[in-house]
Amino acid sequence: MEKSFFAPVKAWKFLFEKPVTIKVPKEKRKASERYRGFHINDWDKCIGCGTCSKVCPTDAIQMVEVPVLEKKFGEKPQRPSIDYGRCSFCAMCVDICTTGSLQMTREYVHLSSQPEAFIFVPTEKGIKNVENVEIGWIKDEDSELLELERVEMEMIEAEERVKSFIEYVKGYSKEQAIHEAARCVECGICTDRCPEHMDIPEYIKSIWLDDLEEGLRWLYKTNPLSSVCGRVCTHRCEEVCAISNRGEAVAIRWLKRYIVDNVPSEDYMKILNFNPKPKEERIAIVGSGPAGLSAAYFLATMGYKVDIFESLAKPGGVMRYGIPRYRLPDEALDKDIALIQALGVRIFTNTTIGKDIKLEELKEKYDAIFVSTGFTLGRSTGVPGTDHPKVVQALPLLKDIRDYLRGEAPKPEIPETLVVIGGGNVAMDVARSVARLQKMEYGKVNVKLACLERNFEEMPADMEEIIEGKEEGVEFYPGWGPIRIMIEKDEIKGVEFQKCLEVFDSDGKFNPKFDANNKMILQGDMVVEAIGQAPDYSYLPEEIKSKLQFIRGRILTNEYRQTDIPWLFAGGDIVNGPDIIHGVADGYWAARGIDDYLSSKERS
């Protein structure tokens, strides 16, 4: 619309009006409700992720270390320092704050002749250190800079996946992976939480840039079992993802899988370009589980000659024989093992240390030994009836199932009704595996799982395992402890339980309490105990065993996984408990320790 010719004349009416004058700082004019003034930061909410610093267009925000802050998982001991000489008050820092701790106030007056006086590390009391500072700009849906919902992973529906052992997680497409990678704010808190300290932001950024070869280099810089961990890692990194404070964590595990699934395995050696200087020393590794394979990989990349001794027919340990095929296909594990063997590592299967070869013989032939024999023995509840042949341990049953599916063993006995005792991931693996066998054999699922933990939140199993198990027909009975196995005419009829009131006492020690008057019976013709595993140290001669220190059945080592015997290193379950990524970390630190030991002039 064209302005009137006389429009300028209309402004003349203000010519003789008295202007509004604010005598700063004696007088103060209240800012509008949406004013973008100085900041406040709730230190209890702030995790020091630095996202505000990264997004600032004027470089006005720097992250500074705060000595009084305790370092915690999921946080950094840092807080944003804001230079108001640079700040443009655009509020982008508030709009992208991953926790909502950073806000803008209606405060705008600050006078000083000193330039440094305009740099503040704001707290919840603002820059004036006053209570109840009035809030100005507040982010809304239109100003939200974070994508809080993750890209949904496609999976085979429960009614279909329970019919077979086919891997049910389909994996991301290129478009989905790039979209999900774009959600990462590159704070690096996930790297701190990961036991192996993988370069997570770096490999996620490689996906966003569609450079999977670079992503592969970042992965195998720290994790030689990336194909495995891209499927079954406990992904503790996602628990501390900055985005998870207000939304869903970035799908770190699935993004790792996307890289390894989309780079041809025959290109790995060329892309990773290993070129170590060969060394003369030889290292023996006992056990080909996560820790053993990891140690072999890192030692081989240093140039050492490495031999692995495995008692079973195939390498991989619990990854091969414990984790069900629908979660971890052999092909994924074989890809990682093939890379390790391509580095010159030799794997001798069907070779039991202590039986086929004595540990003392290994010491004569090798310069150092790393033992990573895992938790291979099951624990029993010890209630009456557990000596019945149809009361079985979890790991042997899972091994029988996997061997059967490979065509290397006969079909295991498939019960029409099964009772599983235990609430961890191994119990879930048993329940979901037998559910599939039942569906294939009888056309229906009849698996009941009972555990001491009183609810799903207390159960040690991953919540996704519980949810997917329920979808597949597994019935859950949390908060019950077994009293006896019910046997009639030498046949199992079920398990009698009593209500568990408390699992741990006030000191946090395992000390369950029960209500003996509140009982129930779960019918079943087979029972599986999945309440934990124990190590088997029968391969250790008494002379060596007597020189080692043990804490709750685990071998005590230093930070480099070196035992009290200088040439003997240990890792994996027997040091830090069952967890694949922790085993990978143990292998890395053991490799460094062995390298230091073999390089030392003091070794004997």
pTM check: above 0.85: yes
Report residue 214's pLDDT band, with 50, 70 and 90 as the boundaries.
very high
CATH superfamily, with its number, for domain 274-376+541-599:
FAD/NAD(P)-binding domain (3.50.50.60)
Quick one: which of 164, 259, 271 has its CA closest to 209? 259
The rounded distance, in Å, linking the Cα atoms of 287 and 539 is: 12
Report residue 128's pLDDT band, with 50, 70 and 90 as the boundaries.
confident
Q: Is residue 78 a contact partner of residue 141, using CB atoms and an 8 Å limit?
A: no
Q: What is the predicted pLDDT for the residue at 72?
A: 84
Report residue 30's pLDDT band, with 50, 70 and 90 as the boundaries.
confident
Q: What is the pLDDT of residues 150-203, one digit of tens each?
A: 999 999 999 999 999 999 999 999 999 999 999 999 999 999 999 999 999 999
Q: What is the pLDDT of residues 453-470, one digit of tens each?
A: 999 999 999 999 999 999
Would you list the domain boundaries of the chain? 23-120, 173-261, 274-376+541-599, 378-533
Q: Answer whether 173-261 and 378-533 agree in fold.
A: no
Q: 443: how many CB neighbours lie within 10 A of its CB?
A: 8
Position 1 pLDDT exceeds 60: no
Position 18 pLDDT exceeds 80: no
Q: Please, which residues bridge with residue 140 across strands?
A: none
Residue with tokens 């006492």: 505
Report residue 10's pLDDT band, with 50, 70 and 90 as the boundaries.
low
Structure-block tokens of residue 513? 């309490």
Quick one: which of 157, 188, 197 has its CA closest to 250? 188
Q: What are phi and psi of 386, to 5 degrees?
A: -70, -10
Q: What is the pLDDT of residues 561-603, one digit of tens each?
A: 999 999 999 999 999 999 999 999 999 999 999 999 999 855 5
Average pLDDT, the chain: 94
Local structure of residue 531 (DSSP, 8 states): S
Q: What is the predicted pLDDT for the residue at 153?
A: 96
Q: What is the predicted pLDDT for the residue at 25?
A: 66
Q: What is the pLDDT of residues 483-519, one digit of tens each?
A: 999 999 999 999 999 999 999 988 888 999 999 999 9
Please report how many Cα atoms fall inside a 13 Å half-sphere around the Cα of residue 165, on the Cβ side: 19
pLDDT, greater one: 443 or 4: 443
Report residue 425's pLDDT band, with 50, 70 and 90 as the boundaries.
very high
Position 26 pLDDT exceeds 80: no
Q: What is the pLDDT of residues 433-442, one digit of tens each?
A: 999 999 999 9
Fold of 173-261: Fumarate Reductase Iron-sulfur Protein; Chain B, domain 2 (1.10.1060)
| Extended strands (E) in 235-333 | 282-286, 305-309
Q: What is the predicted pLDDT for the residue at 252?
A: 98
Q: What is the predicted pLDDT for the residue at 287?
A: 97
The predicted model gives 319-347 an average pLDDT of 97
The rounded distance, in Å, linking the Cα atoms of 75 and 73 is: 6
Q: Are strands 39-41 and 102-104 parallel, antiparallel or unpaired?
A: antiparallel
The predicted model gives 87-98 an average pLDDT of 96
Position 393 pLDDT exceeds 60: yes
Give the percent of the chain with pLDDT over 70. 96
Architecture label for domain 378-533? 3-Layer(bba) Sandwich (3.50)
Position 324 pLDDT exceeds 70: yes
**Lowest mean pLDDT segment, chosen from 125-139, 250-264, 407-421:** 125-139
Quick one: which of 51, 260, 252, 226 has its CA closest to 150? 252
Q: Is residue 69 a contact partner of residue 83, using CB atoms and an 8 Å limit?
A: no
Position 29 pLDDT exceeds 80: no
Q: What is the predicted pLDDT for the residue at 11?
A: 67
- Order of all β-strands in the sheet with 282-286: 346-348, 305-309, 282-286, 368-371, 568-570
Contacts of 227 (CB under 8 A, 6+ apart): 257, 260, 261, 332, 333, 335, 336
The predicted model gives 376-387 an average pLDDT of 94
Architecture label for domain 23-120? 2-Layer Sandwich (3.30)
